[in-house]
Structure formats: structure tokens, C-alpha cells
Amino acid sequence: MHPVAYIDLASVIACVIAVALLIRGWKRSRFSPAIRILLVVLLALMTYYQIALFLEWSGVTTRLDWMEDFAGVFLPFVWAFVFYAFVKNAVEEELRTSRERMDLALRGADLGTWDWSVRTDRVIFDEPWAQMLGYTLDELAPQVSTWERLVHPDDLPRIKEVLNQHLEGHTDSYETEHRLRHKSGRWVWVLDKGRVIERDRDGKPLRACGTHLDITARKQAETALMAYQRRLRSLASELSLAEERERRRIAAGLHDYACQNLVLSKMQLQGLREPLPTAGTDEIADVCSTLDRTLESVRALVFDLSSPTLYKFGLEAALEELLEDKVKAQHGLKYTFRDDGAAKPLAEDVRILLFQSVRELLINTIKHAQAHAVTVDIARHDGSIRITVADDGVGFDVIDVLTDPSRSHGFGLFHIKERLDFIGGRLDIASQPGEGSRIALMAHLETATSVVAETHDRTGQAPSDERRRRLE
């Protein structure tokens, strides 16, 4: 037998193996019936061609030239289709593996997916998406209207606004947190993320895909945390008011008893000076001087504990006195105090909070700002009181201070902000290193009554002598 016959025999065996592999691949492929029939015919011709060559070279027959010519015409097509079949099978195998990996990842992350044809409004939901809401895929029509019926009515306008912004190309992606109705009737919070993946030549969206993540547990935890924070703020406010009441009680006791007894003791000693010889009066004078210094110290302690001016004359007078006695007299800083003169009725707890906050800001300025002058501006603004404290000191980085309250005077600002938030107020901070700072406190007034008085602007002036006499 001619050696070429062995080559033809090997080709026949290769054809048989190729047929077997193709049949195995067809089980996983999606060839149309016509393509499958054509492949079978071409492979049969190729096998027939190889058998004819084998018979000829082995000497069995020599009259098969016409069969070789006929089958040889289709040989290139056979190899082309075989190559195509193998490539397609390999690609589909890789796609199947990738799809399995993606499904495992999505299920592991508890994600549901949706695939939206924008022009037809047809949406393909997957099984986890439906199960998240207690449904099966057969119970959900593959339409956008199905999703719209499940969305909470209060959330739908906001969702559509965000979605339209993305569809029009104004944002890179779409992301919202909203509620969907579960089959049982309860509401499920979901994190909905998506992106347009196909647009036409005019930039109009054709197809968008995205995911749903059930965040109900997180939302419940956030709600519980917010309630806990509100309770903590309430307790902090109650504690601060209780502390202020106790400080006021102690201050009143010192003022009503200690100060009066010291004044009375001084008057009695002065009354004893007349009948005594000159040598004795000098010692009494020394004692009276000591009583005067003690009296001033007690009065300063009374003011530090709780400002009587705050309760007798109001917030504006108390802040003006604070600037004069604390900022100027004790630390030598220049100050400017401005009040628009409008009536600013405040609840007692708000008035106390604002006074404590401004006092803390001024103490921070004295300790940390290295300022030479400070300005306090009080005005009525749209049913609220606005107090602005500004200085010409070294300034600070607002972001650093608020993100790390432990640094410098950051905790004081954080504490003020938390307490203002609790009463519905606001703290605005404007500062840069080397450019001083400007901090504004805002709180709601108790009523809408507005009594406008003459605007005054006192710069570096002490509270009136009449006010001091009444305090004493």
C-alpha cells in the first residue's frame, strides 16, 4: 500500500473526531438548524473525499477521480465551517463561564439586575430582583410600568429627576435610594444603580442596565441611630440647662448672701473707725480694702458662674457686658459690638444656649486665635436671630477642625453645632489660615413679634453705670 494511503487514513480518522467534537459542541451552542444541516453535509463530503483518496492510494480502485473532483470543490468550505464551529464553540464556552462567575458574584452580593430597552420600555428583571420583593419572574410584567407601580409615591418624582438627568447625559451614572413595595405590603429600601450602555448617533439612550441592593437593614439602623442621636442631644441640652440652673442658683446665693454680707461687714467696720485711735483705724482700713478686693472677686465669680445681666436685661446686654469685662478688661482685646435694635424674643433655653456658645467662641478666640480685635454683630433675619463673631486672628482650616474635633478648639465648635442642630438652628463657619475667622450662629425666634428700636453701634464701650448699679 502506498505511503500516501496512510495519510488519507489519518485524515479520515481526523474527520470522524471533528464530527464527534462538533456534535458535542452543538449541545452547548446556538446554531440555527440550517447551519447544522449544512455542516453535516459538508463534513460528510469531506469524509467521502478522504475515503476516496484512501481507496485510490491503497490500490483498491482507480476509478474515483470524478468523486475526488466533486468533493474537492467543497473542501475549502468544509474547513472554513469547521474552523468557524470550533471558534464559536470556544467563545460560547468562555461566555458561559463568565456568565456563571457573574451570576455567582451577583448572588453573593445579594444584587438583583435589570436591563431596560429605553425606546420600547421593556425591562428584563432577573430572579434575585423579583425575590427581593417577594415575587417570581412570572408575576412581574417586563415593563417599566411594573417598576413604577412598586415605587413609593413620595420617592418617584425624585427618582425620575435623577434618572432623566442621566438619560440626558448630564451625569455619568444613575444612583438613588428609594422604597419599593414588597408583595407582603411592607416597604423595602433599595440602592438602585445604573448606567446607559448604548446610545444612538444623536446621543439618545437606547439601553440601560443596573442593579438593586436591599438596604432595608441599613436604613433601619440609620433610623435607630438618628433617634439615639436625637436622644443624646436632648439629654445634653437638658444637662446643660440643669447645669445653668445650678450655676445660676449658686451665683444668686453668692450675690444675695456673700456679697451683701461682705458689704455689711465693711459698713460695720467703717462705723467702728470713728471712736478708735488713729493707729487702730489704719488696721480697719486695711481690712476694708481686703473686703473690697474679696467683694470684687466674688462678683467676678458670680458673673463667670451665670450672668445676671442675661436674665435681667437680655442677651444683647449680657454679650456686651461679656465683651467689656472679659475680652477688653481682662485680656486687652479691642471689640466692636453691634445690635440692629430689633426685638428678638427667645425661649429661655435658646437664650442660654446662644450666650454660652458666644462665650465659648470668645474664649477660643482669646486662647487660640492670637487676635487683636473681635466683633460681635447681632441682628434679626427672617424670623431668626443671627449672631456673628469675627476676629482678625490666625484663622484655621474649617474642614480639618470639623472632621477631627479633638484638634485645638474643634470640639467646642462641634459641640456648638450639635446643640444648634438640636434646636433647629445653624452654625456657619468661614475661616482660612492667616485670614481670621467669621462664625455665625442662627436660631429661631420664639414669636413673630417685631419691635424695631433705634440701631446702635457701640465700639469698646462698657455697659451703662445704671445697669451696673441695678446688678449690684
Cell readout for 248 is: 445660676
Across 248-260, b (16+ Cβ under 10 Å) vs e yields beebeebbeebbe
Q: With contact defined as beta carbons under 8 Å apart, do 315 and 337 qualify?
A: no
Model pLDDT, residue 367? 87
> What's the confidence (pLDDT) of residue 388?
95
> Could you tell me the pTM of the whole model?
0.53
Predicted confidence at residue 467, as pLDDT, reads: 42
pLDDT tens over the chain, length 472 residues = 445 455 555 656 666 666 665 566 555 555 555 556 666 666 666 666 666 666 665 655 555 454 555 555 555 555 666 566 666 666 666 666 666 666 665 565 578 889 999 999 999 998 889 999 999 999 999 999 999 999 999 999 999 999 999 999 999 999 999 999 999 999 999 999 999 999 998 889 999 999 999 999 999 999 999 888 888 878 877 887 788 788 888 877 887 778 788 888 888 877 776 666 665 567 777 788 888 888 888 877 877 788 888 888 889 999 998 898 888 888 889 999 999 989 999 988 888 889 989 998 998 888 888 899 999 999 998 889 999 999 999 988 888 777 766 555 556 788 888 888 888 899 999 998 888 899 999 999 986 443 444 344 444 444 444 444 434 4
348 Cβ contact partners less than 8 Å away, ≥ 6 residues apart: none
Angle at the Cα of 430 from the Cα atoms of 432 and 400, rounded to 5 degrees:
60
Distances (CA, A) of 463 to 160, 325, 362, 404: 59, 9, 18, 38
